[in-house]
Structure 1
Amino acid sequence: MAENQAPEMRELLGDDAPSNWGKWGPDDELGALNYLDNAETLRGVAEIKSGESFTLQIHMGRSESPGDPLWPGREGIKRQNVLDESSWDGDGAPAFPGGLHYADDTALVFLQGSTQYDALGHVWYDGKLWNGYDARSTVGGMDKASVLPIAEKGVSGRGVLIDIARFRGKPYLDKGETFNHNDLEAAAKAQGVTIEPHDILVIRTGWMKYWYELNNPEKFYEGFTEPGLTYSRELVEWFQQREVPNLVTDTIANEVTYDPESGVALPLHCALMRNLGIALTEIAWLEPLADACAADNRWTFLYTAAPLKVVGGTGAPVNPIVIR
């Protein structure tokens, strides 16, 4: 469907779209992460059997090809040295008692230019953010539903990995390949695991593996349409009924880029994040974790994450740690 024929977001999602607005009060900025209380952390801790740990952030500022995977229009980190050994080559070098030398650097980054958490107010429609906050509150910085409340709380609970690529017998899904909640349930059943209420849902498509193995950004971005979940009312209700607090994927935008039925761009950002308050985590590196889970057929673990505490930020980089 051509872009100019796509329906408006409200038309697609419906005037009666499933919503969690007001569920945690009129001032809430955490959304479904409110489900993750102390008991949920302990439920995650109970999944630790071997003590193996996995970090899920991709490399940030990789100089080797293909560089860093990014949403089109964003740029990778621009890091530069301020001080290094060459700073002491000439006159006027810094001097410290004892003669120490050191290195220092600065960085210019897109806050969503790596593995990252979206702020709940990152995407909206009809002039309203998560929980009904006015979209004008984003002007000049996010006064409401920024990434800061997520960062201050931190995220910990039982995570479950659903390896949809492995379930379909592929190293990675194809461009634009879709799946839905029924596929997630079928994959979970095949893995011998149950998706339980309040589970942090981690989905592997193999898309980051594809990025690095393809080693060709031009081909990767050609006709840019990622694989991923696709919108339906039933899928949104499934997420709401299971009280999913956090969706983590190894794609840049968590969902198929353009809904194949309507042509609408990223409707699940609106249906899940804006309306239900589900935290979205993108560009996760899941390959070592997935291999370990498949090796001993254990797909659940303690998932922990804390994005940077950026005041007014629309998102922030994160290096989640999984312990199994």
Structure 2
Amino acid sequence: MVQSPFPTYTELPQHEGSLYPDAWGVFGEEDRVGTLNHLTPQRVLNAKNSIRTGQVFNLNLSLNFFTPALISHRGLVQHEIFGLNEFHRDERLDSFFTQASTQIDSLRHFAHPDRGFYNGVSGDILDTEHGELSIHNVAERGITGRGILIDVARYRESIGRPINTMSDEQLSVEDLDNTLAYQGTTLEPGDILLLRTGWIADYRKGRHVPGSPVLSAGLAQSEEIAAWLWNSQAAMIAADNLAVEAWPANRVNLPTIAEQEGRMEPSSHTGMLHRLLIGLLGFTLGELWDLDELGDACAASGHYDVFLTAEPLNLVGGAGSPANALAIV
């Protein structure tokens, strides 16, 4: 259910005890998929117009692409192949971290410290016994629609100001708007935004030193970015970097009352845009998507819209999943 007329960011209610407005109830009091509600059947049907050649692009890195593991608590998949006889093969996976490579975050992945989990779901029930806000809700509806590549890396290179991908450079609303203008791209409600920073391309070139702290350019941790995404009526946003936003997220541009009052200790999550996008606005996020070949194809054709599908694991209680994403141009 999508409200009509759809409220702008400044029209969303701001509750006592919170510094920011939230979208709880906008898609219904029992909603569990947030902005994916923008993917209405008509918008999915219209997305077929973005197929011009039928060429398919895989947007997924391999499960063990980051070897050693990019984030220490998300280790490598242990893959065992075995056979019951010489004419048979079966397999098992151990130490399978669903968010170690190309991924989709569920709405239970992050709450906002001052408000809690999206739509008021209690954190006390977010375990594998309960499916509230879990990735299986996304799997059951699927992600299909018009994808829009926002190739900020290519735009910034064109003006002689390349992104310093292996830093916490913060990309602004101006960067997004200028990139769309450079591409001649107009956003429509329900678009699935694909943000290319060039981070994966530079990782492939060895510009990240294994074992060193991970740095990543990305969206600025600002309320202006959150408002821009909400007002675009995007269904979700996925990026080719670590967290969609810049990392680390320790510039406290998005303070919380809990941290200001000392009820919550500062951590690597302090200042994260995730808290606003997931916890308050109900955005599904994709991270570490492989957008380089797609970027080359879009630049060559001059078309930056694609037909996009993604199908996460039907994992009840899941905090995230491999993306299983494809773009058809």
Question: Common fold, TM-score beyond 0.5?
Answer: yes
Q: TM-score range by the shorter chain?
A: 0.7 to 0.9
Q: Does 1:288 align with 2:308?
A: no
Q: Who is 2:246 aligned against?
A: 256
Q: Deviations over 1:131-163 (max 9, x none)?
A: 111111224555310000101100111111011
1:88-113 deviation line (CA, Å, top 9, x unaligned): xxxxxx56xxxx71111111210112
Match of 1:156 among 120, 137, 144: 144
Instruction: Determine if the alignment matches structure 1 residue 298 to structure 2 residue 306.
Output: no
| Contact preservation (8 Å) 1:147, 1:313 | yes
SS in 2 for 1:214: coil
1:11 maps to what in 2?
Answer: none
TM-score, normalised by the number of residues in structure 2: 0.82
**Larger Cα Rg: Structure 1 or Structure 2?**
1
Aligned to 2:107: 120
Contact 2:208–2:214 (CA under 8 A) maintained in structure 1: no
What is the aligned length? 292
For residue 7 of structure 2, what is the aligned residue in structure 1? Answer: none
Q: How does 1:72-83 map to 2 (within 5 A)?
A: 72-83=72-83
Q: Distance in 2 between matches of 1:56 and 1:73?
A: 24
The counterpart of 2:165, out of the listed 165, 168, 173, is 173
Give structure 1 stretches of 5+ with no counterpart: 1-13, 84-93
Alignment deviations for residues 274-313 of structure 1 (CA, whole Å, 9 cap, x no partner): 1111110111011110000011211111111111111111
Match of 1:214 among 197, 206, 209: 206
Deviation string 1:179-219 (CA, Å, 9 cap, x unpaired) is 1222101111011111222211100011111222107542x
- 1:103 match: 89
Alignment partner for residue 24 of structure 1, among 27, 45, 69?
Answer: 27
AA partner of residue 223 (structure 1): P
Q: TM-score under structure 1 normalisation? A: 0.84
Q: Which moved more, 1:131-140 or 1:180-189?
A: 131-140
Where in structure 2 are there 5+ consecutive unaligned residues?
A: 1-16, 254-268
Letter in 1 for 2:225: L
Cα shift readout 1:221-240 (whole Å, capped 9, x = no counterpart)? 52323110012222211111
- In the alignment, the residues of structure 2 paired with residue 172 and residue 296 of structure 1 have an alpha-carbon distance, to the nearest angstrom, of 26
Q: Give distance in 1, aligned partners of 2:250 and 2:193.
A: 23
What CA distance in whole angstroms lies between the structure 1 residues aligned with 2:63 and 2:207?
Answer: 16
Distance (Å, rounded) in 1 between the aligned partners of 2:149 and 2:69: 22
Is the Cα–Cα contact under 8 Å of residues 258 and 265 in structure 1 kept in the other structure?
no
Q: 1:216/1:262 Cα in 2 relative to 1: closer, same or farther (>3 Å)? A: closer
Aligned-CA RMSD value: 2.2
| Counterpart AA for 2:26 | K
Q: Which amino acid aligns with 1:103?
A: R
Percent of pairs identical after alignment? 30
Secondary structure of 2:36's match? helix
Q: Is the 8 A contact 2:166 2:207 kept in 1?
A: no
Which residue in the other structure is 1:4 paired with?
none
Greater shift, 289-298 or 228-237, is seen at 228-237
Which of 36, 44, 65 lines up with 2:39 in the alignment? 36
Distance 1:179 1:171 in 2: 9
